[in-house]
Structure 1
Amino acid sequence: MWRHIASNVLTFLVVLVFLLGGVILWGQSEYNARGPLEEPICLRVERGSNMRAVSRKLQNEGAISNGTIFRVGADYTNKNSQLKAGSWLVPEGASMSEIIDLVTRGGASTCGTEVVYRIGVTDSEIEVRELDPATNRYVEKAAFKPGAEETPDAYETVRDQADTRYRIAVAEGVTSWQIVEGLKAVDVLAGEVTKTPPEGSLAPDSYEVRTGDSRAAVIEKMQAKQEAILNEAWEKRPDDLPVNSPDELLILASIIEKETGVPEERGQVASVFINRLRAGMRLQTDPTVIYGITKGEGVLGRGLRQSELRRATPWNTYVIEGLPPTPIANPGRASIEAAVDPAETDFIFFVADGTGGHAFARTLDEHNRNVARWREIEAERKTD
């Protein structure tokens, strides 16, 4: 009898082990299988939250099929205590294991709300935007000018959220003075910039920052990036390029940057200045005259006067030979690359054509016709 009972118990234990093994295999399969989420969602993990709260939120969103398996999987992989606060983009069909990795990996939030401080050539703006997970595009929630008397409620609300991201977007062609002034409006940064960095030394780009970062550290990051871009371009320069140093290359790139806002034209504009330098001609470019007046501190806001075109300043390329002594703005990568790899043309003149671009010419007669046409366009616009 005891032998019969022992046999039954043994059989039961064997069956139990097989069942337990089957459950484990099933759980592992569920944990690693494609999830039920039909379109991406933005999962916000509050500071101080835990895996139980996250699993409930994920189940409510339809992102996981079983909260228990999710929590057991996190515990089994020793990630249960590694949960990171933030907003995380959970892609369509993400498995439980992939979601666990997302919410424990750390780093900057991958979705949610972002405040962008835009430093532009003629204006600056603060934008509050939110990522739409379904389209992976940002949707603007509010926008206002720095120094506004009243700030939108959307801005005040997100300032209190720990997972809000902050970004500084610097436009190509801004001056170093404009960047320093723009950084003053980034109220999540700390410290002062005691000296305006050398013109041209800051790379226009988008920079993610965190609350408490110093303005000086952001400046250093911009300078390091611009130095790397410039050195890379200088290494690829052709032997016959009529500039003698990386500094001169940066000066030329800044002039190209300020002369056109049409990306496709950079190579042609660069070719005009390269051809003029090779021929020993003066560059005769208006943005250098403007810089001689403003020193990069603000926008001129009007047309140039004939007296200003004739007035001698270190930057007035209607008066001086060759390049001015410093850059006249902070050029972007594309303008720096155009300076070392200009289009192959015979152009030595260009003038606005009324479309936002320019009409290029090889001879003075051709250029004069283009100028006459531009004057007609200007007159028509004044009449309208």
Structure 2
Amino acid sequence: MRFLKTLFVWMLMLAFLAAAGAGAGWVWYNNELTAPGPLTEETVIEVAPGESLASVAARLEADGVIKDARLMRLKSRIDGTELDIKTGEYIIDKGASVNQVLSILIEGRSLLHKITLPEGRTTAQLLRIIEKDKLLEGDMPEVLPEEGTLLPDTYMFHRGMTRIQLIEKMEKAQADLLAELWPTRQEGLPIETPYEAVILASVVEKETGRADERPEIAALFTTRLKRGMRLQSDPTIIYGISKGEPLYNKAGQRRTLYRSEIDRHTEWNTYQVDGLPKTPICNPGADAIRAVLDPPETEYVFFVADGKGGHLFAKTNAEHERNVAAYRAYERQEIARERAN
């Protein structure tokens, strides 16, 4: 009987020690998971498509991001998150713990890059920007988007996005914007389809780089169309000649239009054709599209550059001729000032 009592006491002591050891091990485990990591400064890591957590953990240990890859693997096994890490590029803060690093990889809080695709560029020009971006992946599409079907903007993207995916994103953004704005357009506009709205917006976009002038120029062109007047927009002539690429003289300098080019008939030259040009002449931004779908009222039907980045507007031809004379006088002054310097 005494033997059995002694055995029972020893069993209780062993159970107690095992429980104490397990408790201590659990405390150690949690402390290690939340302890500051070895990183001495913020860094960027990348998880490649198809890369396993074991592979990522080993690389993070080798690179000094975490102290022990085995701890990260154990944590993911216990939580059942081994297969939940996401492809991407991630910023890891200085001293990030194993818990924090694993949470970033699982939640997919990856680093975003941006690409700016300016308003008023032709599709060919926008595609050149996309093709040159070194962070985008993949080839360009075999079938190129049509003029005016891409919405210019600054787009955010994760590493791994392909060029085709970005182009599709721009096309969808354009389609979504038109679907939103077209039903709420102003009544009585001289345009009948969303496509015609894009055509007119593209002309507005090419005529001014100033946001505050877009509504005024949209209104002016709307008034001209309603009165049966030709748009007479210089950028439409250029598009008919070079598809929107700058014009140069023989010396390689940017030049203005020749009289023969103004008189040349193309399907885009709005000095020679009534109404809108055949297609958009660039990819207009959202503000230009909004301007042509809800232009302010105006009696202006003429405008000319003021030489300072804006335009002078006129209601009559006589007033317009005075503005043209003022612009030419300004040009002569600027040329004289340049020569004097």
CA distance in 1, matches of 2:21, 2:326: 87
1:53 to 1:92, Cα distance in 2 relative to 1, 3 A: closer
> Amino acid of the residue matched to residue 184 of structure 2?
K
Match of 1:236 in 2: 184
Q: Structure 1, residues 305-329: CA drift from partner, whole Å, max 9, x if none?
A: 2333333333222233322222112
Counterpart selection for 2:59 from 53, 62, 78:
53
SS in 2 for 1:14: helix
Return the alpha-carbon distance in structure 2 between the equivalents of residues 269 and 43 of structure 1: 49
Q: 1:290 to 1:297 in 2, by over 3 A?
A: closer
In the other structure, the counterpart of 1:126 is none
Structure ranking higher in strand proportion: 1
Counterpart CA distance in 2 for 1:192 and 1:45 is 26
Question: How does the TM-score come out when normalised to structure 1?
Answer: 0.66
Which structure has more helix as a fraction of its residues? Answer: 2
1:321 counterpart = 2:274: yes
The change in CA–CA distance for 1:341 and 1:98 in structure 2 (over 3 A counts) is farther
Aligned to 2:148: 200
**2:57 is aligned with 1:110:** no
Equivalent-residue separation in structure 1 for 2:174 and 2:228 (angstroms): 29
1:88 aligns with 2:41: no
Counterpart of 1:266? 214
C-alpha root-mean-square deviation of aligned residues, in Å?
4.1
| CA displacement, residues 223-276 of structure 1 (integer Å, 9 cap, x when unaligned) | 444333323221221223221111211111110111112233322222221232
1:342 aligns with 2:303: no
The answer to whether structure 1 residue 173 and structure 2 residue 120 are counterparts is yes
Q: Gaps (5+ residues) in structure 1? A: 115-166
Distance 1:207 1:23, change over 3 A: closer
Inter-partner Cα distance in structure 2 for 1:315 and 1:282: 12
Distance 1:218 1:347 in 2: 40
Q: 1:300 aligns with which of 247, 250, 253?
A: 247
The size of the alignment, in residue pairs, is 322
- Aligned equivalents of 2:317, 2:25: Cα separation in 1: 85
Q: Does the 8 Å CA contact 1:55/1:71 hold for their aligned counterparts?
A: no
SS in structure 2 of the partner of residue 239 of structure 1: coil
- 2:197 aligned with 1:249: yes
Identity of aligned residues (%): 37
Q: What is the rounded CA distance, in whole Å, between the counterparts of 1:35 and 1:341 in structure 2?
A: 57
Partner amino acid, structure 2, of 1:300: L
Structure 1 residues 209 and 20: alpha-carbon distance in aligned structure 2, compared to 1, 3 A threshold? closer
Aligned partners of 2:303 and 2:313 also within 8 Å: yes
- Unaligned runs of 5+ residues in structure 2 are 249-254
2 CA distance for matches of 1:81 and 1:223? 33
Using the alignment, how far apart are the partners of 1:231 and 1:371 within structure 2? 40
Greater RCO (CA < 8 Å, at least 6 residues apart): 2
Superposed, which structure 2 residues align to 1:146-225 within 5 Å? 170-178=117-125, 189-190=138-139, 193=142, 197-205=145-153, 206=155, 222-225=170-173
